[in-house]
A and B are shown apart, each in its own frame.
Chain A
């Protein structure tokens, strides 16, 4: 067990983690500037998880939320277990070979989203009574007004919002890793997890970018439907 955790961490992992946290936060802010209906605040976490392993991913996620919470937005602080689970699950999926082609990355994103939804629900219910300071709480509030129980309302909100966000995030992480030179990837603990299969890596990158754009469009469409209805 301890050996398995240790093999996630070499010097390059330790150096990558702070930079990944920076990427998480900076990309989160770029998305705010562009006013897109996703968060995309775990790209760095997923990259660490895939290149270095689940434990490194979990550490990156947790630290990222804690530092974000302390330095920028205190509202992010209680959610560190969610971020940690996102990192852990992405790492596990990569270990099982689900980060090697674009449709497998979609599956990874989906599994990560379900995990995030499950972990975040008790935090939202116990700490905030279901209504958090996040924009997606408008959906929860709407569902509560229609007479749903608090657990159903919170769970269905997460299931509506998380998959699009997490699949997009995983896709962007995949596109970035494909764009990195082989020599750079070789220095991380688990370079074999991202060897692409099927199609040249350039084609895969275009497909990944295409899927990202489609997903963002789908998110906007769904949000408009829910809030309009």
Chain B
């Protein structure tokens, strides 16, 4: 578990200085094209010609690849294995392991799906590495997203590490009192309540206090709020965003038309 849930790295680069919404649209474009464009090598090509150059452009290639690989390898790798073994398509068996056969088709299918997951995760990682969460949220709020949504996202990112740390403390505390977390199935199932109980009740007790605190700061006030720093949004970025949306529509249309 990481100590904090923000991957953001402060640097000065073209990608960092883009408007957060542009980066978000770019990320969604990459993902949707990887999943919808009806050509086998699309996700592979996207990684080579879009994601890796963008990370170099953002001067975060090293941090980006470490974070992305740590997130991707377990997920994509497991998905690849499951699919390669269990997808019952194709007849051209190239490898046999007891009753499991790997056919060429299932291997290709698994590879494509693993690459799609790769594109999804790596483009999101790139987005998170180059964008500060509160910058994204204040930009979206300025565009009309209700302030409550921003509150939920930002405070989840803050609270999550705290709650996970709390659950680790509770597990350790209950174990030191002799709670059985590793023997027979019945004992483990019985340990569920003493672990969940303190965690949930402890966290819920904070709710009322927090509610009063943010209410005192004008949380539900209908007045328009002002922002301390402005986030630039030049006109070429607006054009770029529409172009990306057009790309998404073309890709999905091609997919529907060809299938």
A: which residues have CB within 8 A of B?
9, 11-12, 14-19, 21-23, 25-27, 29-31, 33-36, 43, 59, 63, 67, 70-71, 73-75, 77, 127-133, 137, 140-141, 144-145, 172, 176, 179-180, 184, 187, 209, 212-213, 216-217, 220
Contact = CB atoms under 8 A, between A and B. Distances in A.
A25 B196 CA distance: 12
A27 B199 contact: yes
Contacts of B121: 74
B192 A9 contact: no
A192 to B, nearest CB: 19
Given A14-B219, A141-B86, A220 B199 contact: no
Contacts of B204: 16, 19, 176, 180, 184
B166 interface: yes
Nearest to A37: B185
B219 A133 contact: no
B171 A23 contact: no
Contact of A26 (B163, B181, B210): B163
Of all A-B residue pairs in the complex, the 5 with the closest CB atoms, nearest first, are: A22-B163, A141-B86, A18-B156, A74-B121, A26-B167
Contacts of B148: 9, 14
Contact of A209 (B78, B155, B166, B193): B193
B172 to A, nearest CB: 11
Contacts of B74: 73
Contact of A67 (B35, B160, B208): B160
B72 to A, nearest CB: 7
Given A12-B208, A26-B199, A74-B117, A213 B189 contact: yes
A176 B156 contact: no
B156 A30 contact: no
B195 interface: yes
B83 interface: yes
A227 B82 CA distance: 16
Given A23-B199, A187-B208, A63 B152 contact: yes
A213 B190 contact: yes
Contacts of B163: 19, 22-23, 25-26
A220 B215 CA distance: 46
Contact of A74 (B72, B109, B158): B72
A120 B120 CA distance: 19
A226 to B, nearest CB: 15
B75 interface: yes
Interface in B14-53: 35
A30 B192 contact: yes
Nearest to B205: A184
B214 A30 contact: no
A127 B112 CA distance: 11
A36 B189 contact: yes
B109 to A, nearest CB: 6
Nearest to B152: A17
Contacts of B94: none
B87 A131 contact: yes
B128 A11 contact: no
A211 B22 CA distance: 50
A19 B167 contact: no
Interface string B145-179: 00010011101111110111011000100000000
A225 B173 CA distance: 36
Given A14-B219, A30-B167, A129-B113, A22 B203 contact: yes
A35 B188 CA distance: 8
A33 to B, nearest CB: 6
Contacts of A133: 75, 78-79, 82
B188 A34 contact: yes
A75 B75 contact: yes
B211 A11 contact: yes
A15 B207 contact: yes
B99 interface: yes
B85 A141 contact: yes
Contacts of B195: 30, 34
30 contacts: A14-B211, A15-B214, A18-B155, A18-B158, A19-B159, A22-B164, A23-B203, A25-B160, A27-B199, A30-B199, A33-B171, A34-B189, A35-B188, A63-B156, A70-B128, A71-B5, A73-B71, A73-B74, A74-B121, A75-B117, A133-B78, A133-B79, A133-B82, A140-B86, A141-B86, A179-B197, A180-B204, A184-B204, A213-B190, A217-B185
